[in-house]
Amino acid sequence: MNVLENYLEKIKKIILKKIKELNISENYNFESVNIEVPPTNFDFDLSCNIAMVLGKQIKENPKNLAEKIKKILLKECKDFDSVQVAGPGFINMRLNNSVLQNIIIGIYKDKNSYGSNKKNKKYNVEFVSANPTGPMHVGHCRGAVFGDVLSNLLKFNGNKVTKEYYVNDCGNQIKNFVESVFLRLREIKHKEKFKNEKDLYPGEYIIDIANKILKEKPDIDLNNFKNIYNLLKKESLRCSMDLVKTDLNNLGIKHDNFFYESQLMEKDSVNNAVKILKDNNFVEEGFLKPPKGEETKDWKKTKRLIFKSTLFGDDTDRSLQKNDGSWTYFANDVAYHADKVLRNYDFLVDILGADHTGYTKRITAAVAALSNNKVILKCKVCQLVKLYKKGKPFKMSKRAGDFISVNDLLNEVDKDSIRFMMLNRSNDVELDFDFDKVLEKTKDNPVFYVQYCYARISSLFRTLNIDSAQEIKLETDNFKLNVFEKNLLRKIFNWPKVIDSASLRYEPHRIVFYLYDLATLFHSYWSKGNEDEKYKFIIDSKIKNLNTLAIIKLVALVVENGMKILDVSLPKKM
């Protein structure tokens, strides 16, 4: 059930039948035609821009064309109670009572999937992918919630989604991490002082990992780091990933797949990916220009394999090899994305941290080259989170060493508040996380305000002793909606469009914004009932109007669907 989409198709079909009458050429283009709910100062259910789109194409005054279309719609479609031309040529339509009743019943019958547009595409959403060198920190938290909710959103919209975590278990950082565990093991077992050197990991969690390994392997031989490196790497990574998975689980996040970088090495994936690019003439041997700002005298001109990423919209071509001939980090990433391309996804989504902004063009170019433009990669960068308490930047304890952990954050506020508030701004702007605000029970706390909307509706059902799951009944002979009910119903019409727009743009914050707006409309109606007897829901412990109850049930089901996407709880009492 998608009211806006259904009527857009109806209007298009009517116009197509009347092309000659409207003097529209066969080269018409409906691509920019849309239908939406008009502003609340217009008492209409739908608004369409078709006259302005077609008027521009056929060079006719949009208002004049709109008047012609208005007459055709009133004649050809009996669903409209009235049609109005407004502004520069918008066509506003009010649905008749019979149609509105059918829509209300249809939405409720479709309640568990209302809003879904059943796209049926295959997605891989890769998110978090923090280096497995310790627990998650606050910087990972925003991307973790964003990726999880985006995945839920895409699933709700009818797609198949794999939530993936790329485990970077190779390279110098891993070697330094394992050495840090080794030194902590020797500190515990042989009372040697830990060397707090530049590249080592000083956090107390390293001690926890060392203690865990010692408990499981009390006889581990610590005489030679090189001899036990592989064993210790395996055990250290396992313990570290257990910390990460615990943090994710506490945030309500579970990945479908953990892909290890070492798998690429085992399968010789980098060479295979580079061969694909070579075979398509996207790789050449050559020299790169010195990086901007680097002195020419310090730049070593070395022949290496270069990916022609400028062919796919990048600013410059990219090196696949370091000076010593080994593969760059980018080459490994190309191999990883080649693997994803081979898994036959329609779309790949990478959720990246703020420090990866400059990385998006090259990896997007690589996917386009590897898939012959058949697989689309979209990179979404999550900007920084700033913590505030009592109006000042908040510094929590840093048991982790040099960062604030997700566990620290969860000790301050609950999972629901974190998940909701991490989406309270678009991902591409910095987010201020105010501890005081998320603990307030006011309109200024968005998660509370939406939950309170649902709790109020639940209290209404309890007062009436009505099961909220029972079928909707309408007063069909006396079907009248007041201004609050009309605004709520029209907002509910918008829900499928919000889902579709948020999915297509990869912008889950639109769900948060919508739910807050819907809750605000409901709370306004509730408050008006306390001020004016005319707007009360209940009189003498009975519902005043079944139509009112029907609209409130629709509000509840949309809030349920929205909060399910966000994976935020809905308490029935607050």
pLDDT at residue 299, as a whole number = 61
What whole-number distance in Å separates Cα of residue 346 and Cα of residue 523? Answer: 41
Instruction: Quick: pLDDT tens for 290-300.
Output: 666 555 556 66
Instruction: Quick: pLDDT tens for 440-465.
Output: 888 989 999 999 999 999 999 999 98
| Mean pLDDT, residues 539-543 taken together | 84
DSSP label at 18?
T
Give the residue among 490, 521, 486 at the shortest CA–CA distance from 36.
490
pTM of the model: 0.92
pLDDT at residue 139, as a whole number = 82
What whole-number distance in Å separates Cα of residue 113 and Cα of residue 570? Answer: 18
pLDDT at residue 118, as a whole number = 83
Q: What is the DSSP string of 154-194?
A: HHHTT-EEEEEEEE---SHHHHHHHHHHHHHHHHHHH-PPP
Tokens 């690429």, residue located: 264
Cβ-Cβ contacts under 8 Å for 156 (sequence gap 6 or more): 113, 115, 116, 499, 561, 564, 565
What whole-number distance in Å separates Cα of residue 15 and Cα of residue 21? Answer: 9
Instruction: Quick: pLDDT tens for 256-287.
Output: 999 999 999 999 999 999 999 999 999 999 88
Instruction: Quick: pLDDT tens for 103-153.
Output: 999 999 998 899 998 888 999 999 999 889 989 888 899 999 999 999 999
Whether 28 shows a pLDDT value over 90: the answer reads no
pLDDT at residue 399, as a whole number = 47
Give the residue among 122, 136, 145 at the shortest CA–CA distance from 351.
145
Alpha-carbon distance values, 508 to 112, 415, 501 (Å): 19, 17, 9
| Mean pLDDT, residues 199-221 taken together | 93
Is residue 92 within 8 Å of 83, Cβ to Cβ?
Answer: yes
What whole-number distance in Å separates Cα of residue 451 and Cα of residue 417? Answer: 11
What whole-number distance in Å separates Cα of residue 336 and Cα of residue 313? Answer: 20
Is residue 309 within 8 Å of 366, Cβ to Cβ?
Answer: yes
pLDDT, mean over the chain: 92
Q: Which contacts (CB < 8 Å, 24+ apart) does range 327-333 have? A: 327/270, 329/171, 330/362, 330/363, 330/366, 331/270, 331/273, 331/274, 332/170, 332/261, 332/264, 332/270, 333/363, 333/366
Lowest mean pLDDT among 38-52, 142-156, 382-396: 382-396
| Mean pLDDT, residues 404-425 taken together | 91
Whether 341 shows a pLDDT value over 70: the answer reads yes
Percent of the chain with pLDDT over 70: 97
DSSP label at 115?
T
Q: Which residue has the higher pLDDT, 287 or 167?
A: 167
Whether 96 shows a pLDDT value over 60: the answer reads yes
Cβ-Cβ contacts under 8 Å for 242 (sequence gap 6 or more): none
pLDDT at residue 401, as a whole number = 57
What whole-number distance in Å separates Cα of residue 283 and Cα of residue 331? Answer: 12
Whether 527 shows a pLDDT value over 70: the answer reads yes
What whole-number distance in Å separates Cα of residue 1 and Cα of residue 100? Answer: 13
Bridge-based pairing of strands 122-126 and 538-539 is: unpaired
Whether 435 shows a pLDDT value over 90: the answer reads no
Give the residue among 39, 48, 32, 56 at the shortest CA–CA distance from 84.
48
pLDDT at residue 376, as a whole number = 95
- Highest mean pLDDT: which range of 18-22, 405-409, 549-553: 549-553
pLDDT at residue 296, as a whole number = 57
pLDDT at residue 291, as a whole number = 63
Residue 130, classified by CB atoms within 10 Å of its CB into exposed (0-12), middle (13-18) or buried (19+), is buried
Bridge-based pairing of strands 347-353 and 376-382 is: parallel
Alpha-carbon distance values, 407 to 251, 253, 423 (Å): 9, 14, 19
Provide the terminal-to-terminal Cα distance of the chain, rounded to the nearest Å. 32
pLDDT at residue 398, as a whole number = 44
What whole-number distance in Å separates Cα of residue 493 and Cα of residue 138? Answer: 37
pLDDT at residue 30, as a whole number = 87
Q: What is the DSSP string of 345-360?
A: -SEEEEEEEGGGGGGH
Lowest mean pLDDT among 23-27, 175-179, 500-504, 512-516: 23-27
Six token digits for residue 475: 């007063």
- CB count within 10 Å of CB 198 equals 5
Cβ-Cβ contacts under 8 Å for 36 (sequence gap 6 or more): 4, 46, 47, 494, 497
Is residue 41 within 8 Å of 487, Cβ to Cβ?
Answer: no
Structural domains of the chain ordered from first start? 3-95 (3.30.1360.70), 446-566 (1.10.730.10)
